[in-house]
Amino acid sequence: MSELTVVKIGGNVIDDPDKLNDFLDAFSNLSGKVVLVHGGGKLASDLSGELGVKTKMVNGRRITDAENLKLVTMVYAGLVNKNIVASLQARGVNAMGMCGADQDLILAEKRNHPTIDFGFVGDITKVNTLALCKQIECNSTLVIAPITHDGKGQLLNTNADTIATEVAAALSRFYKVKLVYSFEKLGVLMDADDDSSVMPVLNTEQCAQMVKDGVINTGMMPKTENAFYALSKGVEEVIIGNFVSMESNHSSGTQIIQ
Ligand SMILES: Nc1ncnc2c1ncn2[C@@H]1O[C@H](COP(=O)(O)OP(=O)(O)O)[C@@H](O)[C@H]1O
Ligand SMILES: CC(=O)N[C@@H](CCC(=O)OP(=O)(O)O)C(=O)O
């Protein structure tokens, strides 16, 4: 099996031009097959504020009414995705930007929660592995935005960590996949106030205890959940860390183990 790296970048990096440039420099130097999944939640929230569109997050997920759906589609599948693609082209990387509706890449169903109406939030039901592999084997660097569809014409908003997880899991049938959730810190911290307290490895028991103690909270909760799920689905290696520091050998991030 050949090796493939899936990298996910989130809103805090996307929203900072210097951090994004550093990330894209490091990403474009990667050799071998690569897929990039991006979020953009921070930019969407900032724009919502400017436009007077109300935003509410529950369990790390955006309550996505019709107005929010229009906005996140424009931000994720438009502005952010196309900017990243253009920036990669400028670095000599033949990038191809897609969302889940393109080539029926990622099917999802509208979340049906017993007590919370999440609106147009999509839970992934199927990843079109064949379409992904075709693009990868044509040497395109896929850049995937966190917008999915239900196959009946409805676009849906899906968490970008979840997209990266499901894409990495699906590709694990055909490649030895390394999945990196890249964010602004160097890894999972033992002490939120001490950026140097990076855990070299994290297992399920440690994670459960840290969640119980409140040391792992907010955005790190869905990220660690996704990371363990990815391992259970056959992803070879899962890292939560800072991709730029990892590539410049300053850090190895937090390796997720069972
Ligand atoms: N133990 C922890 N270690 C590191 N970060 C943590 C921890 N607990 C909570 N966090 C928070 O999780 C955030 C990362 O999640 P999120 O904001 O969703 O990132 P992104 O949008 O980049 O995916 C960090 O910015 C940090 O504030
Ligand atoms: C359903 C849901 O919550 N979708 C996310 C998708 C973007 C995302 O995940 O962005 P980050 O990776 O930058 O957080 C949202 O709208 O915030």
Which ipTM value was assigned to this complex?
A: 0.97
Domain containing 187: what range?
2-256
Q: Which two tokens stand for residue 77?
A: 């599948």
Ligand 2 site: residues with CB under 6 angstroms?
10-11, 39-42, 44, 61-62, 72, 121, 146, 157-160
Question: Is 29 annotated as contributing to ligand binding?
Answer: no
What pLDDT is recorded for position 249?
82
- If you measure from the C-alpha of residue 48 to the centroid of ligand 2, how many angstroms do you get, rounded to a whole number? 13
Index of the ligand 2 atom closest to the CA of residue 219: 14
User: In terms of C-beta density within 10 A (0-12 exposed, 13-18 middle, 19 or more buried), how is residue 94 classed?
Assistant: exposed
Q: Nearest residue CA, atom 17 of ligand 2?
A: 41
Question: In angstroms, rounded to a whole number, what is the distance separating the alpha carbons of residues 101 and 92?
Answer: 26
Distance set, CA 109 to CA 169, 220, 226 (Å): 19, 24, 18
Index of the ligand 2 atom closest to the CA of residue 12: 13
What pLDDT is recorded for position 58?
87
Index of the ligand 2 atom closest to the CA of residue 122: 1
Question: Is 41 annotated as contributing to ligand binding?
Answer: yes
Q: What is the pTM for the complete model shown?
A: 0.97
Question: Is 11 annotated as contributing to ligand binding?
Answer: no
What pLDDT is recorded for position 60?
78
Q: Going residue by residue through the chain (258 aa), what tens digit of pLDDT does each one get?
A: 999 999 999 989 999 999 999 999 999 999 999 999 999 999 999 999 999 999 999 877 899 999 999 999 999 999 999 999 999 999 999 999 999 999 999 999 999 999 999 999 999 999 999 999 999 999 899 999 999 999 999 999 999 999 999 999 999 999 999 999 999 999 999 998 999 999 999 999 999 999 999 999 988 988 999 999 999 999 999 999 999 999 998 889 999 998
Distance set, CA 106 to CA 114, 123, 238 (Å): 24, 10, 21
Q: Show the 3-state SS of 58-126.
A: ECCEECECHHHHHHHHHHHHHHHHHHHHHHHHHCCCCEEEECCCHHHCEEEEECCCCCCCCECEEEEEE
**Total count of domains within the chain:** 1
- If you measure from the C-alpha of residue 88 to the centroid of ligand 2, how many angstroms do you get, rounded to a whole number? 22
The H-or-E segment that residue 4 falls in is strand 2-9
For ligand 1, mutation pick of 193, 207, 218, 225 (most atoms within 8 Å of CB): 218
- If you measure from the C-alpha of residue 192 to the centroid of ligand 2, how many angstroms do you get, rounded to a whole number? 22
Least Cα distance to 116 among 62, 54, 52 occurs for 62
Domain CATH code at residue 68: 3.40.1160.10
Question: Is 81 annotated as contributing to ligand binding?
Answer: no
What pLDDT is recorded for position 134?
96
What pLDDT is recorded for position 208?
97
Residue with the two structure tokens 């996949």: 177
